[in-house]
Amino acid sequence: MKNYQRNAFVFATIVAIGGLVFGIDAVLISGTTSYITEEFGLTPDMLGNVVSSTLLGVLIALPFVGPMCNSFGRKRVIQMIATLYLISAVGSTFAPGYWTLFIARFIGGLAFSSITLASMYIGEISPPSWRGKLVAMTQINIVIGLTLAYFINDAIFKASVSGTGWAESLGFADHTWRWMLGSEIPAAAIWLILLFFIPESPSWLFYKGREAEARDVLTKLLPDDEIDHHLDEMRESMAENAHDHDILTQFREIFGRRMRLILVIAVTFAIAQQASGINAIMFYATTVVEQLGFGTDAAFAQTVLFGVASLVFTIVALLLVDKLGRRPLIVGGMLWIIASLGVGAYSFSQATYTLPETTVVELAESGTFPQPERLGAIAGVEYHSDVEFKAAIAEVLGEKDARNNQSLLIQKAAQMNAMLIFICMLSFIAAFHFSIGPIMWIVFSEIFPIALRGIAIPLFGFISTFISWSVAKFFPVQLDTLGMASTLLTYAVCVAVGLVILFFSFKETKGLSIEEIQQKLVIKDED
């Protein structure tokens, strides 16, 4: 590896660590849902607010990201974001109540815009032949982070129930969820320190008229004989795509006739990626697995496989994206997603729920279940959906006791092909990370002209995040009112619509420079 290649790799790796912090921050909450629900007395709507508060934060932040990174530079804004991650992690760990936790998580959400900035920055410092791999590093780090978060949650949960002296002295049993959320603090602090060692984006420096500084940075990223050519391409692209750099002009460019095809591609990617329901499955992983009747202990262990599948198939996508191209992975992966969600939805629709009378007796004899005689009214009754069964236990136990004991009762009552559904969930996660998960950000880093990228990437990231927030916010309510079968089917339909649009609109960008991609996708003005 030559020096300029090594530099590009190191700088991209440091910025992509933001994906690691993002993954940890996003998924640690999945292990805490039952704990914070019980401790703070959360309703499904309140739980949805806490889990989705990070996504609400990024919705607020994203409109400001473009102007800020254009005004202050990519590097400085990314440093601000790392600081917000650290503040959020500390605040979440020591939150005394629902609103404090909501606000701390919301602050972390302001930092979630690091994903759009990371893809922008890495796309601007990467040689064309390496761009796909280096931009995908952010997604790799996201899945490493979320995988690590599942392992951390599982380890802390096991420590909390181990009964060992060291675990009890450190408060693992009494403060399980706080240990889970607090594990993000070291990662956020390390990332903030490393960001002081990266250069500013040469594209931003050129955009601000600081060509000499841009050239200095390019000497670290390109062979000497390519620097002038690269500067000429940036100069040509700037002249063609943005005669006026104010924000209103950039928005007019993005929504103008010349960018129509790019607009269709970007909007479809942004909606389909998150409407697949990926964040419902990942953010509520233990809740989803508990719906299969595995129980809480098994749920923590099983969700580790979600992270492993994410990591393995993101790496596979990274290895193939510059060989096979973006389009084959997108089309094949989305078909795979639709099949996985469809089979999972059908299997859930065939499930029944019957609480045996012997189970009620066992619960009474154990002395651990509050007033088990209340379950007598539903013992031996067959329910044909998870919605019916949850409504029945809420009626006999009351909302609070039903929520606190739902996992145990589903474990005792569920009659379904749980292993098939679990495999479908794993398959869905693998397909997502093989296709639209990492590839959307690669495509976003390629299809927009340099002068519009600072506004365009955050804009379409905003659309994606709005869909993601909606999915995460309403998933607990959907689970209670629609059930898993209808929820998964809805996700599958959304992906199918996106697949049809992308199949006819998206053109391959593999191996092309950003300027060549513009020639391929931008509609030329008529003479």
pLDDT per residue over 346-401, tens digit each?
999 998 999 888 888 888 877 777 788 888 888 889 999 888 988 898 888 888 88
State how far the Cα of 421 lies from the Cα of 27, in Å rounded to an integer: 21
Residue 239, pLDDT score: 63
Q: Same domain, yes or no, for 237 and 372? A: no
- 323 shares a domain with 199: yes
Residue 129 burial by Cβ neighbours in a 10 Å radius (0-12, 13-18, 19+): exposed
Length of the chain: 527
Let me know whether 169 and 70 are in one domain.
Answer: yes
- Residue range(s) defining the domain that contains residue 401: 352-415
User: Which regions of 335-480 does DSSP assign to beta strands (E)?
Assistant: 352-354, 382-383, 414-415
Are 365 and 449 found together in one domain? no
Q: Are 378 and 512 contained in the same domain?
A: no
In a domain, 82, yes or no: yes
Domain count within the chain: 2
Could you tell me which residue, 96 or 514, shows the higher pLDDT? 96
Higher pLDDT, residue 110 or 339: 339
- 85 found inside a domain: yes
Residue 16 falls within a domain, yes or no?
yes
Query: pTM for the whole thing?
Result: 0.75
Task: Classify burial at 100, counting beta carbons within 10 Å of its beta carbon; exposed 0-12, middle 13-18, buried 19 or more.
Answer: middle
Whole-Å CA distances, 402 to 18, 259, 409: 39, 52, 9
Same domain (yes/no): 363, 485: no
Residue 132's CB: how many other CB atoms inside 10 A?
A: 27
156 with 172: CB under 8 angstroms? Answer: yes
Residue 526: inside a domain, yes or no?
no
Q: What CA–CA distance (Å, rounded) separates 468 from 278?
A: 8
Residue 180 clears pLDDT 80, i.e. is over it: yes
pLDDT per position as a tens digit, 242-261: 444 566 777 787 887 888 88
Neighbours of 366 (CB within 10 A): 9
pLDDT, position 527:
42
Question: Cα separation of 431 and 276, whole Å?
Answer: 11
Same domain, 313 and 438: yes
pLDDT for 400-436, tens place per residue? 888 878 878 888 888 888 889 999 999 999 999 899 9
Measured between alpha carbons, how far is 377 from 298 in angstroms, rounded to an integer?
Answer: 28
Burial of 524 (0-12, 13-18, 19+ CB in 10 A): exposed
| Same structural domain, 344 and 357 | no
Higher pLDDT pick, 224 / 444 = 444
- Rounded CA gap, 78 and 4, in Å? 22
| 514-527: average pLDDT | 68
Question: Measured between alpha carbons, how far is residue 473 from residues 54, 66, 292 in Å?
Answer: 10, 25, 22
- The answer to whether residues 358 and 501 belong to one domain is no
Please check whether residues 131 and 232 belong to one and the same domain. Answer: yes
69 has pLDDT over 60: yes
**Is 70 exceeded by the pLDDT of residue 295?**
no
Whether 451 and 497 share a structural domain: yes
Residues 6+ apart with CB under 8 A from 88: 25, 104, 105, 107, 108, 109, 110, 111
Local structure of 94: helix, strand or coil: coil
Q: What is the C-alpha separation between 479 and 386, in angstroms, rounded? A: 9
Range from 126-135, 233-242, 485-494 that averages highest in pLDDT: 485-494
Question: Which of 334, 341, 519, 524 has the alpha carbon at shortest distance from 437?
Answer: 334
Say yes or no to pLDDT of 164 above 90: no
- 63 lies in the same domain as 163: yes
What is the helix (H) or strand (E) element at residue 109, kind and residue range?
helix 98-110
Q: What was the pLDDT predicted at 241?
A: 54
pLDDT at residue number 245: 56
Of 29-43, 216-230, 295-309, 512-526, the range with the lowest mean pLDDT is: 512-526
Say whether 440 sits in a helix, a strand or coil. helix
Is the pLDDT at 487 greater than 90? The verdict is yes
**Residues in contact with 202: Cβ distance below 8 Å, sequence separation at least 6, in sequence order:** 124, 125, 214, 215, 217, 218, 221
Query: Whole-number mean pLDDT of the chain?
Result: 85
